[in-house]
Amino acid sequence: MNKYEILKRYFGYSQFREGQETLSDAILSGRDALGVMPTGAGKSLCYQIPALLLPGITIVISPLISLMKDQVQTLNQAGIHAAYINSSLTENQIAKALKLAARGTYKIIYAAPERLETYGFLEFARQAEISMLTVDEAHCISQWGQDFRPSYLKIVQFLRQLEKRPIVSAFTATATEHVREDIVCVLGLDQPEFLVTGFDRKNLYFAVETPRQKDRFVLDYIKAHPEDSGIIYCSTRKNVDALFEKMQDLSIPSARYHAGMGQEDRRQSQEDFVYDRCPVMAATNAFGMGIDKSNVRYVIHYNMPQSMENYYQEAGRAGRDGEGAECILLYSPQDVIINQFLIENKEENPEFTADELAAIRERDQERLRIMNYYCLTAKCLRAYILNYFGEQSLGDCQNCGNCRKEYEETDRTAEAMAIISCVREFRGRYGVNVTAGTLAGENRAKLREYGVAAYASYGSLKDLGEQRVKGLINQMLAEGYLAVTKDKYALLRLTGKSEEIAQGNQAFMVREVKEEFPQPAKSSASSASRRKSDILNSKGLELFDRLRGLRSEIAKREGMPPYIIFSDKTLVDMCIRLPFRREEMLEVNGVGEHKFEKYGEPFLEEIRTFTGERKEKLFFGEQEEAETRNQPGYSGRKRAKPGKSDFFLSREQAEQFPYAEKYLAPELAARLNELRDIDTVKKTSGAEIIRRSQERGLSEERLVDGMRRKFVTEKGEEAGLFLGTRISQKGTEYEDIYYDEEAQKMVLEWFVQ
Ligand code: ADP
Ligand code: MG
């Protein structure tokens, strides 16, 4: 069998995802490999497929028992012999498993790092043919990472004790350079194939909300999504318990998880969640690393996490199956203070010196600040995340809370100047709160104590109010027009860029939400992302529900989480293709041969009965779908903004277009949007223009040396697309696609109706 056959036969997929093939190929050619891919990208397949093709056994090191169990269940379901060896088994069971392993029963063996130094395991490993050692969640080996595990260092000793060094592959979702270097160095990877895939998770919708009552928001949200599974992350056990009680009061089938609970309770909670007995989970960040549950539809952060790394990892647990899912952060300035406290009172790792500890704390403060700016920015949230992880993104994704709001650009240069002169007057003595209070002319005890009324700046932005002044200061911080000292006091100071504004050489523009378009928190969140099942018509949805019912019956009978049997995506694909026979069923995305043998028949039977073996179209084509959605009263899960149609221009509007020598896609989109009828027509975006260009074969994106790069095809060149060099905020050069006048005319035609 070759890798494509394995992909189809065992896993039921017909295509590799980005990066999977490159990494598998490298491993199969005998090279070490390091894959950095976001959560849900499909790292497991990168080592599982070569593991099946290599002659000997693959040992996978994984940090958590629950994670191993989930993976091994999934593999067994696919008909692959795999086992795990960890402390959840008795000594007897371990001995038995090792005996079977030595006989070559398993192709893949999962083990906890602690296991590696036990006599029995070493004995086995030295006699068996080990083709590969895979380190999953490899960032655990780095002391700079969030989840350093000293036991991971045992992997190195283990490798040394083997007679023949196997191929070593490592996988992580943590993108920072430092951690990567640690992985390569500490594990001793030998000129590894190193691949970083894009960190964008297109199916995730990101939003920041500031509801007055967070509980209300969360409970309303859960009620509005009764079919869905989701996680609510809170920063403290107390919050988890309080929220959990409220959910219980409302009879929401929910579970909770935090480190204050007993081990057995935690295990039970986790299982209830994974098996969909309790689809809603309230938890602290102690919960999650072992969760591969693929149908999590939303992750709500009740409190702001401590860093973007944490946030993206936790939020990334939504939508692993590739279906639309929502990641909503509920922000309150209070969270910043709580996090400061948590950072300052963090348990100290005795392995570090006082200097190192100070450096770590400083780094944590910096990360917290960057997290805070995420909550305050008015720009594209996805772009903010991607830029943080070192990827270029122009923003305007149209799938985040900010891109969906109506903004207007306002000139705040005068206010920025007032803020700068106040900071100058203070000579670095105060932070954001005192500065904002002073400018707004507040009169609280603390301010009186500092005597701020004596400064010239006192009250100079009184009309704006303290909150808005604070907002402006934060924007200036985020854009580098001000900075803060890197300690817990975070005192404001000026930067080189402040001068540009102070001297009138630079305008300070901010995006502010248009007052006429109030966006109630609820609607902007729940109208968000698209699901595969949205494509089904009412009859299709009925079949989908039946198949889900059948799945949960089987899951219950077999003691398996439902998503391990078939994912939602697979069920939707069944509703679209309507297979009546085995061969047709094998075409369905996610149905491999082994799974078909186990579960295929009852699903075929259900589909045949439901349709009376007549092929019908149980889904909308794109056009019909859009029309139905825009009808008033349509109650599908995803609603477009009521009353607004997708972007288009009339011939007369199109004639107003301000052609220029060249535009980037987002600039082009902005010009187009200015021409539309704002009240009835939705905006288009740079992303949409890029998507359409790619669809027409005019441009493409490829990975080159692990970096995502844009290309113009020959056809694109003819049409007037061309590459130009741009300089990023960090000062590095990169290439981007421009549209010349000819190309602008072409794009315009795409939208004229
Ligand atoms: P990661 O470890 O990177 O977080 P997983 O390996 O757990 O991600 O994979 C996430 C989900 O993606 C799983 O449900 C998996 O079955 C699915 N998946 C992986 N590869 C493919 C593929 N080539 N086609 C479709 N689905 C895939
Ligand atoms: Mg994984």
CA of 152 to the centre of ligand 2 (A): 16
- Rounded Cα distance between 239 and 718, Å, is 59
**Quick one: pLDDT at residue 635?**
36
Q: Long-range contact list for 667-673, CB < 8 A, 24+ apart?
A: 668/739, 668/744, 668/747, 669/396, 672/647, 672/747, 672/748, 672/751, 673/647
Q: Per residue in 152-192, pLDDT tens?
A: 999 999 999 999 999 999 999 876 778 888 999 999 999 99
pTM passes above 0.95? no
CA of 84 to the centre of ligand 2 (A): 15
CA of 16 to the centre of ligand 1 (A): 10
Ligand 1, residues 6, 9, 11: which to mutate, most atoms within 8 A of Cβ?
Answer: 11
- Return the ligand number nearest the Cα of 64: 2
CA of 123 to the centre of ligand 2 (A): 28
Is pLDDT larger for residue 542 or for residue 733? 542
- Return the ligand number nearest the Cα of 45: 1
Residue 705 has pLDDT above 70, yes or no: no
- Return the ligand number nearest the Cα of 14: 1
- Return the ligand number nearest the Cα of 590: 1
Protein residue whose Cα sits closest to atom 20 of ligand 1 = 42
Matching residue, tokens 């992302």: 529
Name the strand (E) or helix (H) holding 482.
strand 482-484
Q: Say which range, 425-434, 479-488, 588-597, has the weakest mean pLDDT.
A: 479-488
- Return the ligand number nearest the Cα of 110: 2
Name the band, by pLDDT with cuts 50, 70 and 90, for residue 520: very low
Q: What is the CA radius of gyration of the chain?
A: 28
Protein residue whose Cα sits closest to atom 27 of ligand 1 = 42
Tokens of 121: 């395991």
CA of 518 to the centre of ligand 1 (A): 39
In order, the DSSP letters of 554-608 are: HHHHHT--HHHH--HHHHHHHHHH---SHHHHHTSTT--HHHIIIIIHHHHHHHH
CA of 19 to the centre of ligand 2 (A): 14
Name the strand (E) or helix (H) holding 703.
strand 699-704
Complete edge-to-edge strand list for the sheet that includes strand 721-727: 662-664, 733-740, 721-727
**Quick one: pLDDT at residue 93?**
94
Q: Which residues contact 34 (CB under 8 A, 6 or more apart)?
A: 138, 169, 170, 171, 180, 183, 184, 189, 192, 193, 194, 195
- Return the ligand number nearest the Cα of 48: 1
Q: Per residue in 365-388, pLDDT tens?
A: 888 989 998 998 888 999 999 988
Give the number of the atom of ligand 1 that is nearest the alpha carbon of residue 37.
3
Give the burial class of 269: count Cβ atoms within 10 A of its Cβ; 0-12 exposed, 13-18 middle, 19 or more buried: buried
**Quick one: pLDDT at residue 492?**
93
Residue 558 has pLDDT above 90, yes or no: no
CA of 40 to the centre of ligand 1 (A): 6
Q: Per residue in 657-694, pLDDT tens?
A: 999 999 988 889 989 988 888 777 888 888 889 888 98
CA of 294 to the centre of ligand 1 (A): 9
Residue 38 has pLDDT above 60, yes or no: yes
- Rounded Cα distance between 573 and 725, Å, is 42
Tokens of 456: 């010239």
Q: Which of 327, 282, 324 is nearest to 300 (CA)?
A: 327
Ligand 1, residues 4, 18, 45, 595: which to mutate, most atoms within 8 A of Cβ?
Answer: 45
CA of 571 to the centre of ligand 2 (A): 23
Q: Which residues line ligand 1 (CB under 6 A)?
A: 13, 15-17, 20, 37, 39-45, 292, 294, 320-321
Ligand 1, residues 20, 44, 204, 588: which to mutate, most atoms within 8 A of Cβ?
Answer: 44
Ligand 1, residues 8, 320, 532: which to mutate, most atoms within 8 A of Cβ?
Answer: 320
Q: Per residue in 67-106, pLDDT tens?
A: 788 899 999 999 999 999 998 899 999 999 999 999 999 9
Give the number of the atom of ligand 1 that is nearest the alpha carbon of residue 39.
4
Answer whether 596's CB lies under 8 Å from 586's CB.
yes
Protein residue whose Cα sits closest to atom 15 of ligand 1 = 42
